[in-house]
């Protein structure tokens, strides 16, 4: 193989260097563009994550006001049943008292009417 003249060799090296430098510049530009795009996406994701965290915090704050734990519900239901039982027991006592009073009145009326009728027949 014959050797190339020095001028041609310098030209080839200059062209190759220019091509490599151009490729490196293009690659650098795309890397910079990709990095900026990744940074924008990361910022958008960070913003979305902050919104989700805020929504979740709000949800946790509202949760006890909208929903009740099963144990709390069962305890409240038992208290309500106990209150109803006491109220019904009080009503039953009043009804029993009224029934007793009505019986006593009927007996008194019956004695009065019976005694009055017996006194007239004699």
Taking residue 14's Cβ as centre, other Cβ atoms within 10 Å add up to: 10
Half-sphere exposure for 73 (CA within 13 Å, toward CB) = 6
Task: Summarize the confidence of residues 84-92 as an average pLDDT.
Answer: 93
User: pLDDT by residue (tens digit) across 40-76?
Assistant: 999 999 999 999 999 999 998 888 888 888 888 899 9
pTM check: above 0.85: no
Question: What are 76's two structure tokens?
Answer: 């409240």
Question: Is there a contact between 12 and 4 (Cβ–Cβ < 8 Å)?
Answer: yes
Ramachandran quadrant class, 22 (left: phi over 0; alpha: psi -120 to 50; beta: rest): alpha
Main-chain phi, psi angles of 18, to 5 degrees: -65, -45
- Whether the pLDDT of residue 117 is over 80: the answer is no
Across 107-119, b (16+ Cβ under 10 Å) vs e yields eeeeeeeeeeeee
Which is it for the CA torsion 37, 40, 44, 46, positive or negative? Answer: positive
- Whether the pLDDT of residue 119 is over 80: the answer is no
> Using CA atoms, how far apart are residues 80 and 103, in angstroms rounded to an integer?
34
Mean pLDDT score across all residues of the chain: 88
């Amino acid at each position: 193989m014959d050797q190339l003249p020095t001028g041609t060799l310098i030209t080839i090296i200059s062209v190759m260097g220019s091509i490599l430098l151009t490729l490196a510049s293009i690659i650098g530009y795309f890397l910079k563009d990709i990095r900026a795009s990744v940074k924008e996406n990361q910022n958008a994701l960070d913003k979305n994550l902050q919104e989700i965290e805020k929504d979740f915090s709000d949800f946790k704050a509202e949760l006890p006001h909208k929903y009740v734990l099963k144990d709390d519900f069962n305890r409240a239901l038992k208290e309500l049943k106990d209150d109803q039982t006491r109220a019904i027991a009080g009503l039953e006592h009043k009804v029993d008292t009224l029934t007793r009073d009505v019986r006593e009145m009927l007996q008194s009326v019956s004695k009065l009417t019976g005694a009055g009728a017996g006194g007239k027949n004699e």
